[in-house]
Structure formats: structure tokens, C-alpha cells
Structure 1
């Protein structure tokens, strides 16, 4: 079978950590299922989840039904829309509108919000008669709370411990009749029945209320089937559909969190890291070649390596992921190796007295085999990972695709581009030399 063990739970949500905000109570239930290892079954997890959703028939009164899988990688859900506002009713209405908007996109499932309705609540409001007797909302609430949660009657010390005596109703016999039959003590010292000074009404409240930066918030989460759609495309489409204008109708603001937030932060950090890496490579090459211009020719091959990596993802049908971007940083340091080998050989010949064209032709001929072998050995080292079929290897495949195809494209280009750039540098240097020589000759003639 597919299932190793299944555990049903009533009273608390199951699943990921963000399910905590759904609250607790006998109106919540869940089932946790552990499947056999992925290599031991032919049915993929996404196929099982899809069949589970299609075969489930919801009973009347079910507010939300979610089937999600445990995932590794960046924290958060694929879609995590945070709505902030002041009014809970407006937040709930905005959340329902956002959920209806998400349902229009293909590949989006398990849409839910963390502002679910909870149990029935008894709302107590002081009547004008009660206020005339001196009761306030605060005094009524305090006496009702003390009756059911207990009031501290006395504290005394016993050895090193402090003993607290709390007086309250027996918890096992509490009922709605006990609440309505409760007597309150008025400011004048008279005992008055609670039902004579307040009115009762019932309302379905919210199971749990979240606050961030002093504002009440609601989170709308959803999963995206990457085979049908992407989270970036869904987020972009939501903004084009007027999501923020919709939220403003309810006096709320919206922003995306979860994996979208983590991805944006990661890309920002990687941009800074890429800038530092490129500057470091330039400084090292400038010290090696004793030139400020030649390192630019060596590094000119880096963009072509990136083009090769993008074509590799396109050919093999992989999306560019965060791991692909990480591999691009490593690729930038790898592809310059071929350029260093070639430029160094040309520089040695030029320093020996050969003309620039002869040095370029001779250096390229001498280092052709070394350049090819440097790239081929690296590519062959990653081929086993590229052709691995296990599910664990699928996570790392974009990295292998980036490096293999990036090196493949850069190696072909470096044998043509770098010699051409060096020849251009030689021509420009010769042009400037003739200009300065001509200028020096003209300055010498008047003094002759």
C-alpha cells in the first residue's frame, strides 16, 4: 500500500506551523498521513493529493478543507497574502474576496485563511436600567469573569512558597443557565440578578485574532501546482486584477509574504553577493596580469556562460530556481579559468617579443587542448547528477544544468571572443602609440 501510518486528531489543526493560527476546539479536525518512501512507489505525492481532493465530498457546514504536503526549502506557503486593517468584519469580507479571486487561477488549490469562525459567543451589554443602578461594562465583566474564572480571596506564605486561595464555581457544573442566574453586587451593596441589568445576544466569533505592528491581520494562503502555474505568475496576475484596489474598499492593505517574501530577500542578498564576487575576481586578475584593462577581457566571457545556462534550462524544461542563481555565482568563477589560461599564454608570447597577432595565434594553438579539457572534466564530473533519476536528485538538478550548459557555451565562446578582444586591445594600443608619437614629433620640429 501507499500509506505507512495515518493519525486522526480532533481539537487541534494538523499540518504546517502556520496552521496554529486556526485556533483549537472541537470544530477543528485533521488527519496526518505518512506515505512509503518516494522511491518505493509509482504514485507521486501530487497525484495522490489531487485524487484525494477530487474524491472528497464535503458535508454541509464545512467551512474549509485543505490537503497539503510537508515541504522542505524556504519557509512559508506558495501564496501567502497578508491583509491588515482595523475591523474584523471588514478583514473577513476582504479575505473572502481574495479567496474568490484566487480560485479563478488554474493550478491554485487549498485556498484558506487564518481568520476562521469559532464557537458561539454570548455577548453581554449593560442596559440603561443597569447603568442607573451604577453598573458599568467594566464592573459587570469583572464580576462575571471572577465568578467563572475565579477571584483571589487570600494569599499566604507556607515555607518558601506562596499559596493562593481562589474562589470560583465548580467547573464541571457550569452552564448557560448558571450565567443567566448569576447575581451581581451593585455599588450600593445590593445583590441584583444579571438578567435584570444586561441583555444577552449570541454571535459567532473568530477562533483566533492575529496582530502585527498593532494592526489586525488575516493571512490568505494557497498552494500552486508548478506543472500548471507558478507562484510568481499568480502574484503578478493578482496585482493586475486590482487586488490592492479591492482591499482599499474594505479599508485594508495587502502585501505578499511566505515564499515570495523569502525569495525577494534571497535575490536581494544574491545581487549584493554577485557584485562583491565580480569585484573580487577583477581585483585578483588585475594583480595577476598587472593591468586594469586585461581583466575585463578575461571576464567578458561570463555573460556568455549565463546565456548557456539559460538555454540549458530551456532545452531540458527546467525552471530557473534559487539554486540556479546560486550556481550562476559559482559559474562566474569557473568560466574565467579558461580565459586565464588563454590570456596568460598570449601574454607570455607577447612579452617574449612576438607581435600581438602572432602571440594570439600561437597562444590559442598552445592552449586549445588545456582550455577544452578544463571545461570537459568539470562537465563530466556533473553528468551523473544531471542524469540521476531519483527524486532526491531533482532538487539539485538545476544547479548541474546551470554549470554544465554554462561551461559548454562559455568554452566555445572563449576560444573566439577572448583572442578577438585582445587583438582589438592591441589595435587600440597601437593607435594611441602612433598618436602620441605623431604629437611628440610635431612638438620637436619648432625647436629644431
Structure 2
């Protein structure tokens, strides 16, 4: 971290790194977007705090994270090393959740998926949530135990009572509730031989040594056991260098070429895409539903006063052109379409209706004055409403310019939405002045107005 600080400050000729914070046995920053343990003796975290975004214009924190990763290289003995440049995230860029009833197959499938992801350039910090824990003694009933009518729950309860204790009585002492537990003496609880030879009571009352009715195996346990729909699941996650490869391209490729083959090799294996892709998919799904509901309500609210099904469609015809303008605005300023961009497009639909509504209402009023001269009525209406429509759009766009060109970190979240709204209104205004009169003329000729 100190080497990265030195290189970054030297490269840009000023202090970019404010502080370096080391956390031992905890990961408070990583815990904000992770389901992993926060406190454990084998955990550690190094946090590099940069100056504010407006004080380091043109310096991307992701570039510093990539430099840090390259300088650090492989960390000997570490199970999992991650580099991230975001304190708040919707999940890992690549997150594939595998599920199976056979945990051994699940681990093998996870390892194969990790090996496959390593073949992609720009995919880094590949990991899973299979974390080994302490050594455990596992009990399994043998044939004799089953023949005696024992269940695995009988073994568990009796072993727990012997080593943890069974409540014999409770004694109330003023406000305190004292529980008296009966269990083996400390010396006997520390001996594996005593566990193997402890007497298990059967349903018939017989007392039989544990090692005769069950098989005891010592093996590592797991500090995290994750389930979904009652099945054991493992999440394989990875980060990407956006300058090299896009996460959605990697996910699309493995879904088409690798995951079906993996599922065929391990019967019963299931997979799902989680992380940022799932959040994006869920958000887009709910937003699209809301968008179409909004369009329907706009149509209903316009159809009632106009007493027509066709004229609301004419008014709403400018909405697709506003979407084109929003996309062009992103391309012009070099921004990618994001979820907030689509939020802006949803808001854009309501704004565009205003200009179309004003223009169509003026045309209807002029038609009452010139019922036999359609062209004259439309031209006069466009002349009378040209200035209000154009000024409304220009002032809307001008009001959004400070947000669009704001350089502070806080404004970056709003810039895509402002781009959609501003450029969508600006582009659709010119289309509206031509489209609405043209569509209205066509409906008159076809007898639908």
C-alpha cells in the first residue's frame, strides 16, 4: 500500500492518498457488501483513503485499485485476496450461484467454474464462499445402530447432553435464573476415547458403546453453510477490469458455452446469476412494469378529456424519439447507459407529453376557427405555440446543465438521469413540432380525429 501511495503521488505530482488504514482480525469496510464473517483471527484489511473526487479530477479509483493489485501480486498462504474501489456496491460484477444436494460435487463444480473464469483476460479476484472451519467429529449410524432402532437425533441429543450438559433444575435467586447442568467431568470431556466409549441408551433401555452403533470421523467443518430453497449453494465471485472486458460479456459467454456443460457433468446441479447482474435484472424488471403502468395512466388521463383513443396516441408518439435523444446524449458525452439513465427516461415520458399536449390543443382550437382549411389551422397553431414549446424545452435543458457538467463525486450518480432527461427533451422538441401536426393531418384524412 505504501508503494502504491508513493507511485500515485509521484505520478500525479500531488497528494492523492490521504490515509492508509490497517485492520487486523476484522474487515469493517468489506462487510458493507459481503455476507462473509466480519471478525475472525485470520482476517485482515488494508484501506486506502483518497482525496475527494472533485480534488482528483481525471483520476479513477479503479485505476489505483488495478495498480495496487499488480504491485501486490500473489499473496503466499492467503486463501482469498480482493481489491475493490467502491465502498457501496450492489454485489460482485460476476457472481454465479451453484446449488446441489451433493456437496462434494458442488465443490468440484465450483472449482471448475473458477478455473474457467481464469481463462478470461481482465477477470480478477476469483473466489468462493467455501470457508473451512475447525475440525469436527461427525457421527453416522451404522447397520447395528439402525437395527437397534436408533436415530441420528438420538445420538446427537445424548452426546450433547454428555459433553455440553442437560438441564437438571432451575433455581431462582432474586432476579437471576440459575440453571443446573449435568454433564461429564472436565477430564472425561477432553478425551476422544471417552466419546468413543460413552454409553448410548437404546429405546429398549440397553446401554451400548457409541463406537458400536456409529462411525466417528474427524474432518474439517465449514464456517459458513449457505442454503437456498433448502439446497446447499456456493457462490463463485470475481471482479473485472472494465477497460479489458465487460462483466456481462463474460457472463453471457459462460452461460452459453460452459454452464450447460457443467450441469450435464453433475446431475442435479443448478445455477443462477447473482450479484450486480441480478440486481440490475430485478431493478429493470420492476422499472419496466412501472413504466408501462405510467404510460397506460397517461393514455387514460388524455383519452378522457379529448374523448378520443387516437389523439392520446398522437401526443405520446414523441416518447420514443425522446428515448433516442437520451441515448445520443450518453454517446455524445461518453457515458454508459445505467439504471439511473432509465429512471431519467421514465421521467422523460411525462415531460414530453406536455409539449405535445400544448401543441395538439392549439391545433384543435384553430380547427374550430378554420374548419374547412386544415393546413391553415395547423400552421397558425404551430406559429402560436412554437415559442412556448421551444422555450420550455430550452429552459429545461439549461436547468439540467449544471448537474450534467458537475464534477463532484456526489453528482455523478445523478448525471446519467440528467442526461436522459435533458437531451431527450431537446431532441424530441424538434421532432414534436413536425410529428404532431403530421400525425394529426393523417388522422383527419382517415376520419379518426
CA separation of 1:53/1:161 partners in 2, compared to 1, >3 Å: closer, same or farther? same
Are residue 428 (structure 1) and residue 446 (structure 2) matched?
A: yes
Deviation of the 1:162 alpha carbon: 4.2
Aligned positions of 1:114-129 closer than 5 A: 114-123=129-138
Q: Which runs of 5 or more structure 2 residues have no equivalent in the other structure?
A: 1-14
Query: In the alignment, which of 102, 111, 131 is matched to residue 87 of structure 1?
Result: 102
Instruction: Give 2:84's aligned residue.
Output: 68
String of CA shifts for 1:359-390, please: whole Å, max 9, x gaps.
11121122222221111010000011111112
Are residue 184 (structure 1) and residue 202 (structure 2) matched?
A: no
Deviation of the 1:327 alpha carbon: 0.9
- Please say which structure displays the higher CA radius of gyration: 1
Contact 1:13–1:28 (8 Å) recurs in 2: no
Deviation of the 1:85 alpha carbon: 0.7
CA separation of 1:275/1:189 partners in 2, compared to 1, >3 Å: closer, same or farther? closer
Instruction: Give 2:291's aligned residue.
Output: 274
Instruction: Give 1:316's aligned residue.
Output: 333
Secondary structure, counterpart of 2:422 in structure 1: helix
The CA distance in 2 between the partners of 1:54 and 1:303, in whole Å, is: 45
CA separation of 1:122/1:14 partners in 2, compared to 1, >3 Å: closer, same or farther? farther
Aligned length: 427
The 10-residue stretch of structure 1 (148-157 or 291-300) with the greater mean CA deviation from structure 2: 148-157
The CA distance in 2 between the partners of 1:137 and 1:72, in whole Å, is: 44
CA separation of 1:198/1:80 partners in 2, compared to 1, >3 Å: closer, same or farther? same
Taking only aligned residues, the RMSD between alpha carbons, in angstroms, comes to: 3.6
Query: In the alignment, which of 351, 370, 374 is matched to residue 334 of structure 1?
Result: 351
Deviation of the 1:231 alpha carbon: 3.2
Contact 1:309–1:402 (8 Å) recurs in 2: yes
Instruction: Give 1:398's aligned residue.
Output: 416
Aligned positions of 1:12-411 closer than 5 A: 15-16=30-31, 19-21=34-36, 25-32=40-47, 34-41=49-56, 43-72=59-88, 75-123=90-138, 144-158=159-173, 162-168=177-183, 178-180=191-193, 184-185=198-199, 201-250=217-266, 251-354=268-371, 355-411=373-429
Contact 1:14–1:31 (8 Å) recurs in 2: no
Contact 2:129–2:236 (8 Å) recurs in 1: yes
Contact 1:297–1:421 (8 Å) recurs in 2: yes
Q: Give the TM-score, by structure 1 length.
A: 0.82
The CA distance in 1 between the partners of 2:446 and 2:207, in whole Å, is: 105
String of CA shifts for 1:115-136, please: whole Å, max 9, x gaps.
1222333456789999999999
The CA distance in 2 between the partners of 1:68 and 1:170, in whole Å, is: 50
String of CA shifts for 1:79-138, please: whole Å, max 9, x gaps.
222111112111111111122222233333222211122233345678999999999977
Contact 2:52–2:409 (8 Å) recurs in 1: no
The CA distance in 1 between the partners of 2:148 and 2:366, in whole Å, is: 106
The CA distance in 2 between the partners of 1:56 and 1:147, in whole Å, is: 50
Contact 1:327–1:402 (8 Å) recurs in 2: yes
The CA distance in 1 between the partners of 2:300 and 2:155, in whole Å, is: 75
Contact 2:62–2:84 (8 Å) recurs in 1: no
